[in-house]
Amino acid sequence: MLKSVSVLTSFALLLAATATLASSCGSGPVINVYNWGDYIDDSVLKAFTEETGIRVNYSTYARNEEMYEKVKRGNSGYDIVVPSDFMASKMIKEGLLEKLDFSAIPNFSNIDGRFTSLSYDPSDEYSVPYMWGTTGILYNTTMVDETVDSWDILWDARYSGQIFMYESMRDIFAVAQKRLGFSINDTDINNLNAAKMSLSEQKPLVQAYLDESIKDKMIGREGALAAVFSGDAFYCIEENDELAYIVPKEGSNVWYDVLVIPKGSKRKQEAQQFIDYMCRPDVALKNTLYVGYSTPNKEAYKLLDEDWQGSDVYWPDDDVLDRCEVMVDLGAFTQEYDRAWTEVLASR
C-alpha cells in the first residue's frame, strides 16, 4: 500500500515535470500578462517569445473590477494589465501604474492620433491603446422581427428569457442610464437609484448575466438579444450571419482598452518591449483579426480587407460615435455603484 502511494506520488511529480517541460522549453525572463479572456491571438505570444527570448505567463480576467482588486492589493506580480479607459484613469489617480518610457516603444507612432491623448491619460504618459469599440445590441434577425433601434427592446417582455447581459457593473449601468436618458457618468444618487430599479425590473426577462460566453450563446442561437461590445458583435456576425448589431438611438458608450504596467513590476523593460511588439502593424493586425475588436493602429487598419474597413460594426461612422460617451472614473461615488449593483444582483 505504501508502495502504491509512493508510486502515485512519483507518477504525479513525473507528470508535472513533463508538463512543465512541455510548457516552458528554455529559460529567460518571464513577464506576467493579465488580459481579458479571449482577447489575443495566441500565436502572437509564441512569436514574441521566439523573437525576444522573453517568456509570457498569460492569465485572464472577465471584469475591470476583478483585475483592479488584484492589482490594488499590491505585489500582484503582473507586468502588463489591460484596463478600460475609466479604470485606467482610476489606476493612474491612485498611483497604481508605472509611467512608460515611450522611447522604448517606437511603434507607438503607429497609433492613430484619434486614439491618443484621450481624457483618461491626457498627455500619453501611462497607457497605449490596445482595442476600442462601442456598446450596442446584438440580435438574431430570425427571432426579432422588428426594427431594433432602442435600448427599450431589452426591457420588452415578449423577449423574456431570450436576453443576455454582461455581468459587468459599469457596462450594465451604462445601458440602463442611456435608456433613461442619463449620462453614463451620472453621479446623482436619485438617477442611480432609477437605473438600479430599471435593472431590477429587467432581471426577470434576462436569461443570464454572463461574460464572454455571451458570444458562444448568441452564435449558438441560445438567445435573441444581448447587450454586447461591438468587437464581440463583429465576431459573432462573422460566425453566424443571422445576427446583426446596432448602437441604439438613445446613445451609448465608446470605450478604449489600454496596455499599462502596474507599479512595482520587476520586468518593466520587458513589459515595454511587449507593448511595443503589440503596436507592430503585423501583430496588431493578427490580434484584431482574431478578436474582432477594432484596432487603434492606423497601419494595421490599412492592412485590413475592405469589408472590415467598411463594416459599420467594426468601424462605426462619426454620427454613431457622436451619440456615444466615454466612461470616466467616478472617484468615491463608485461605492454607490458597487452598492446598487450588489442589490441588483441579489434581487430576484
Partner 1 sequence: MNKKPLVYPYIAWIVIFTVIPLLLIIYYSLHVTVNGERVLSLDNFARIFEASENPRNGENIYIYLEVIWRSVRLAAVCTFLCVALGYPIGYILAGKEFDDSGVLIFFFLIPMWMNVLLRTYAWLTILENNGVINSTLAFFGLPKQTLLYNDTAVILGMVYNFIPFMILPVYTVLKKLNVGIIEAAQDLGASRREVFLKVIFPLSIPGVISGVTMVFMPAVTAFVISNLLGGGQFILIGNMIEQQFLRVGNWGFGSAISVVLMFMVLLSVGIFSLVDKDTGSGGGDAVLKKLKRLYLALMLFFLYSPIAVLIVYSFNESKSRANWSGFTLKWYAQLFGDPGIMNALATTLSVAALSSAAATTIGTAAAIGIDSMKGAKKRLVMGLTNIPVVIPEIVIGVSLMILFMYVCGALGVGMGYHTLLLAHVIFNVPFVILSVLPKLRQTDENLIEAALDLGASPSSAFFKVLLPQIMPGVITGAMLAFTLSIDDFIVSFFTAGAGTTNLSILIFSMARLGINPKINALSAIMFTVVLLLLYLINKRETINKKRREKNAQIR
Within residues 286-345, the interface with partner 1 by CB under 8 A covers: 335, 338, 341-343, 345
Q: Which letter does DSSP use for residue 159 in this model?
A: G
**Which one of 26, 50, 73, 318 is in contact with partner 1 (CB under 8 A)?**
73
Residue 238 makes contact with partner 1 by CB under 8 A:
no
**Under rule CB under 8 A, which residues in 218-237 are in contact with partner 1?**
219-223
Residues 6+ apart with CB under 8 A from 235: 215, 291, 292
Residue with smaller CB distance to partner 1, 107 or 207: 207
Exactly one of 34, 48, 132, 277 binds partner 1 (CB under 8 A); which one?
A: 34
**Residue 38 touches partner 1, criterion: CB under 8 A:** yes
Phi, psi of 216 (to 5 degrees): -60, -40
The DSSP secondary structure of 83-118, one letter per residue, reads -BHHHHHHHHHTT-BPPP-GGG-GGGGGB-GGGSS-
Of 241 and 318, CB closest to partner 1? 241
| Interface segment toward partner 1; rule CB under 8 A; list 102-110, 134-142, 204-212, 317-325 | 204-212
Site for partner 1 in 119-158 (CB under 8 A): none
Work out whether strand 324-325 and strand 252-259 pair parallel, antiparallel, or are unpaired: parallel
Distance CA 285, CA 289 (A): 6
Among 43, 53, 69, 302, binds partner 1 (CB under 8 A): 69
| Choice from 8, 143, 189, 321 touching partner 1 (CB under 8 A) | 8
Cell of 180: 433613461
* DSSP reduced 3-state for 250: coil
The verdict on 37 binding partner 1 (CB under 8 A) reads yes
Residues within window 101-120 making contact with partner 1, judged by CB under 8 A: none
> 29, 47, 52, 60: which one contacts partner 1 (CB under 8 A)?
60
Shortest Cβ 231–partner 1 spacing (Å): 14
Q: Which long-range contacts (CB under 8 A, 24 or more apart) does 62-67 make?
A: 62/36, 62/37, 62/167, 62/168, 62/211, 62/212, 63/167, 63/168, 63/169, 63/211, 64/168, 64/170, 65/168, 65/169, 67/34
| 2: contact with partner 1 by CB under 8 A | yes
Q: Assess 51 for contact with partner 1 (CB under 8 A).
A: no
For residue 294, the minimal CB distance to partner 1 (Å) is: 20
Cβ neighbours of residue 284 under 8 Å, at least 6 residues apart? Answer: 110, 278, 295, 297, 299, 300
Q: Is 217 in the site for partner 1 (CB under 8 A)?
A: yes
| Interacting span for partner 1 (CB under 8 A) from 35-43, 92-100, 174-182, 242-250 | 35-43
| 32, 272, 294, 311: which one binds partner 1 (CB under 8 A) | 32
Q: Closest distance between partner 1 and the C-beta of residue 49, in Å?
A: 10
Question: Which residue, among 253, 294, 270, has the nearest Cα to 134 in the 3D structure?
Answer: 253
**Do residues 123 and 310 lie in contact, with contact meaning Cβ atoms separated by under 8 Å?**
no
Contact 115, 129 (CB under 8 A): yes
Single residue of 131, 154, 169, 225 touching partner 1 by CB under 8 A: 169
Give the 3-state secondary structure of residue 29.
coil
Q: Which one of 12, 143, 189, 321 is in contact with partner 1 (CB under 8 A)?
A: 12
Q: How many CA atoms lie within 13 A of 104 on its CB side?
A: 12
Stretch that binds partner 1, among 4-12, 151-159, 267-275, 289-297 (CB under 8 A): 4-12
Residue of 29, 47, 52, 70 interacting with partner 1 (CB under 8 A): 70
